[in-house]
């Protein structure tokens, strides 16, 4: 039953949650709508690894019964969500996008999954991803490549490939991804959705497959900045089971979304982030600046310090830590990794420990210098999420492509990776389309624990644009 009379799967997460709260739509109806889109387009997009329909309907019916009984409900009551298949859910398979873990069933659940459930949401599918979150394109030899719903020949970005594609395709209202070098922001940009990598330590990583102890982040992808704000308000905060998580208080991120950017200084880089940028990306980026200025923001041209060093140190840290985590599997099961994962992980064992320690030890002083020189002048920093027009799946197929393909694939994350090393909050929202009809992303980054400011700017931008509301016309497989 619905008084809305439209495709409820096209609602934003916040709209759907409010519709459930008001009794305008049932949780079962939301699930039906999501599954109808999934059944129609999953063969083309390949966004899921597993789907639990029986469990989903049981959860949806329970949510409806609970709502009918009266009493308080959570901010995500009755919402069907799906997550990158590396968030452990007790008793449910978690493949981590790999062959090695194809039968892995964890005995415990991730804190973020429990927090979302406490807010009333339920998880009904495990989403496709790069193998062990190890690429930025979404290629996956074991589960099939995830394909971009805007054009099936193109990449979805990774490693949270299925999260970006599933949200864009209206299979789910939101999805958790993870981000160690861009893996939330890249699929957000590539699929025309919104995704935020919070400040390092803002969100618990307990029960989440690790890639890099120093750089992993948990965060949502959804259709709007407001949706991301709602989810972040639920999942952020100290977790005693993850002692690295921050004890900083969690604000109500939604409450601060008032569209007013007066007094906000937005840094526009004159170095690094726009080097060799494709013309359509540059045009979309410049148009975005006008929108932010129209909301009252002051644009400040900025030269950025230390960017090449940051990028190198970021790679060393994440590669060494990733290789350490996978060392035994590499020794015992070398053929169970895709070839490009071998190349990335195996070689990383050759990095001397002294280089790793050096890369880590520079992190604090570099962040201090960056905070002083950049965020001493501005409140936010903007840049294109990806410098180039989105490449095709074939052009970035490292395992089967000509020499030089890896450089194309690695170049995708050149604008996102620095914010992982710096530990800063960083978000991507859609800001246009390229000549091939693929989305372009605008990256907004802020000071430590300034997720509120980042989300506020993103939401303000989305009040004056409709890129985030557009929906792909997905062709048949």
Partner 1 sequence: MMTEIPDEAALALEFDVFARRAGLDIPADRRAGVFAGFKDLRRMLALMRQPRTAAHEPAGTYSILSVTRGL
Site residues (vs partner 1, CB under 8 A): 240-244, 247, 308-309, 312-313, 315-316, 319, 327, 330-331, 334-335, 339-340, 342-344, 346-352, 355, 357-365, 399, 403, 406
CA 437 to chain centre: 21
Q: Which is nearer to partner 1, 287 or 343 (CB)?
A: 343
- Please tell me which residue in 159, 169, 214, 315 is annotated as part of the active site: 159
CB of 305 to partner 1, least distance (A): 13
What are residue 301's phi and psi, to 5 degrees? -65, 140
CB of 218 to partner 1, least distance (A): 17
Cα–Cα dist 464/50, whole Å: 37
From the list 354, 344, 364, 356, the residue with the least C-alpha distance to 320 is: 356
Residue 118: exposure state from Cβ atoms within 10 A (0-12, 13-18, ≥19) = exposed
From the list 383, 415, 455, the residue with the least C-alpha distance to 199 is: 455
CB of 314 to partner 1, least distance (A): 11
- In terms of C-beta distances under 8 Å and separation of at least 24 residues, what long-range contacts does 61-64 make, across chains too? 61/27, 61/28, 63/20, 63/27, 63/120, 63/122, 64/26, 64/27, 64/28
Q: Residues 50, 93: contact at Cβ < 8 Å?
A: yes
CB of 308 to partner 1, least distance (A): 7
Tell me if residue 183 is catalytic. yes
Q: Is the bond leading into 159 cis (omega within 30 degrees of zero)?
A: yes
CB of 364 to partner 1, least distance (A): 4
Q: Which is nearer to partner 1, 23 or 334 (CB)?
A: 334
CB of 316 to partner 1, least distance (A): 7
Q: What is the DSSP letter of 298?
A: E
Q: Residues 116, 123: contact at Cβ < 8 Å?
A: yes
Tell me if residue 159 is catalytic. yes
- Please tell me which residue in 84, 315, 445, 456 is annotated as part of the active site: 84
Q: Which residues 6+ apart lie within 8 Å of 423 measured at CB?
A: 199, 200, 201, 363, 367, 448
Structure tokens at 330: 């590499």
Q: Which is nearer to partner 1, 340 or 468 (CB)?
A: 340
Q: Which is nearer to partner 1, 302 or 366 (CB)?
A: 366
Q: Which is nearer to partner 1, 64 or 239 (CB)?
A: 239
Per-residue burial over 91-114, b if 16 or more Cβ lie within 10 Å, else e, is ebbbbbbbbbbeeeebeebbbbbb
Q: Which is nearer to partner 1, 200 or 224 (CB)?
A: 200
Q: Which is nearer to partner 1, 42 or 321 (CB)?
A: 321
CB of 257 to partner 1, least distance (A): 32
What are residue 51's phi and psi, to 5 degrees? -135, 130
Q: Residues 248, 34: contact at Cβ < 8 Å?
A: no
Q: Which is nearer to partner 1, 59 or 316 (CB)?
A: 316
Q: Is the bond leading into 377 cis (omega within 30 degrees of zero)?
A: no
- Please tell me which residue in 183, 214, 288, 315 is annotated as part of the active site: 183
Tell me if residue 178 is catalytic. no
Structure tokens at 171: 């299979």
CB of 350 to partner 1, least distance (A): 4
CB of 194 to partner 1, least distance (A): 31
Q: Which is nearer to partner 1, 334 or 475 (CB)?
A: 334
Bridge-based pairing of strands 174-178 and 122-127 is: unpaired
The radius of gyration computed from the CA coordinates of the chain, to the nearest angstrom, equals 21
Helices (DSSP H) in 209-306: which residue ranges? 225-235, 279-294
- Other Cβ atoms within 10 Å of 365 Cβ, number: 10
Q: Residues 389, 155: contact at Cβ < 8 Å?
A: no
Cα–Cα dist 466/61, whole Å: 33
Q: Which residues 6+ apart lie within 8 Å of 369 measured at CB?
A: 305, 306
Which residues are known to be catalytic? 84, 159, 183
């Amino acid at each position: 039953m619905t008084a809305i009379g439209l495709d409820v799967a096209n609602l934003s997460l916040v709209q759907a949650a409010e519709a459930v709260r008001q009794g305008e739509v049932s949780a079962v109806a939301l699930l039906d709508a999501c599954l109808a889109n999934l059944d129609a387009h999953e063969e083309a997009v390949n966004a899921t690894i597993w789907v639990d329909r029986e469990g989903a309907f049981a959860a949806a019916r329970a949510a409806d019964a609970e709502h009918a009984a009266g009493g308080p409900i959570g901010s995500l009551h009755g919402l069907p969500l799906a997550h990158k298949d590396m968030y452990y859910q007790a008793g449910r398979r978690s493949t981590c996008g790999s062959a090695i873990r194809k039968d892995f069933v964890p005995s415990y659940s991730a804190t973020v999954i429990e927090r979302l459930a406490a807010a009333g949401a339920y998880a009904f599918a495990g989403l496709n991803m790069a193998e062990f979150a190890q690429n930025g394109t979404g290629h996956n030899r074991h589960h099939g490549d995830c394909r971009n719903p805007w054009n099936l020949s193109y990449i979805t970005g990774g490693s949270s490939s299925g999260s970006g594609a599933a949200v864009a395709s209206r299979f789910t209202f939101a999805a958790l991804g993870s981000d160690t070098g861009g893996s939330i922001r890249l699929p957000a940009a590539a699929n025309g959705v919104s995704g935020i990598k919070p400040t390092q330590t803002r969100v618990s990583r307990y029960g989440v497959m690790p890639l890099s102890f120093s750089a992993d982040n948990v965060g949502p992808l959804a259709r709007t900045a407001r949706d991301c704000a709602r989810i972040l308000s639920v999942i952020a905060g100290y977790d005693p089971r993850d002692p690295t998580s921050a004890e900083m208080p969690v604000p109500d991120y939604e409450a601060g979304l008032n569209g007013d950017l007066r007094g906000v200084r937005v840094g526009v880089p004159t170095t690094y982030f726009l080097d060799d940028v494709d013309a359509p990306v540059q045009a979309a980026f410049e148009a975005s600046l006008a929108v932010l200025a129209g909301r009252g923001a002051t644009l400040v041209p900025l030269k950025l310090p230390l960017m090449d060093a940051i990028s190198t140190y970021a790679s060393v840290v994440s590669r060494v830590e990733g290789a350490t985590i996978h060392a035994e599997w590499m020794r015992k099961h070398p053929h169970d990794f895709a070839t490009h994962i071998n190349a990335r992980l195996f070689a990383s064992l050759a990095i001397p420990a002294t280089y790793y320690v050096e890369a880590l030890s520079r992190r604090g002083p570099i962040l201090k210098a960056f905070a002083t020189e950049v965020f001493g002048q501005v409140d936010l920093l903007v840049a294109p999420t990806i410098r180039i027009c989105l490449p095709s799946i074939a052009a970035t197929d490292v395992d089967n492509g000509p020499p030089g393909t890896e450089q194309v694939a690695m170049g995708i994350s050149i604008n996102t990776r620095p914010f992982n090393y710096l530990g800063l909050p960083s978000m991507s929202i859609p800001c246009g389309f390229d000549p091939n009809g693929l989305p372009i992303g605008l990256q907004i980054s802020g000071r430590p624990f300034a997720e509120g400011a980042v989300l506020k700017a993103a939401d303000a931008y989305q009040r004056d644009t409709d890129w985030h509301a557009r929906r792909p016309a997905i062709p048949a497989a």
